[in-house]
Structures are given as structure tokens and as C-alpha cells.
Amino acid sequence: MISIVVCKEFQNRYIGRKAVVAILSRAAKIGLKQVDVEIYDFNKQSIKMFSDIGFQKIDKVR
């Protein structure tokens, strides 16, 4: 599990996006076929970023 938090004063500079892209690149290099992310519904900014990168929303299975 990985958590990414960007301080408010550094948000909107694509720092989180660059970190996620680097993590996805590393995941592909080590052979991971799937990467999941869990985002709270109120976190619209993160939802948009992950959607822009190519993640798709799925219903959480419990």
C-alpha cells in the first residue's frame, strides 16, 4: 500500500501525478498486472487525477 499526500501549498503542480506515474512505471517493471487505488468520495481532486491517468472507478467489493 502506498499513500501520497501533497502539502496544500504544493498542490496543483503535478507533483502527485508525477509520483503516481513513477510508481506505475515501477509496478510495470516488476511485473504487476493491476494496481488498485482507494480514494474517499469527497476527494474530488484525487479522483480527477487518477481518472486522467487512466484509472476507472469500480464498486468496492466487501
Considering the entire predicted model, what is its pTM?
0.82
The DSSP call for residue 21 is: H
Q: How big is the CA angle at 22 (ends 14 and 61), to the nearest 5 degrees? A: 90
Residue 10 banded pLDDT, cuts 50, 70, 90: very high
Q: Which residues contact 50 (CB under 8 A, 6 or more apart)?
A: 20, 37, 39
Residue 1 banded pLDDT, cuts 50, 70, 90: confident
CB 53 within 8 A of CB 17: yes
Q: Which of 3, 14, 24 is nearest to 49 (CA)?
A: 14
Asked whether residue 62 carries a pLDDT value surpassing 70, the answer given is: no
Residue 3 cell numbers, joined = 499513500
Distance CA 12, CA 38 (A): 20
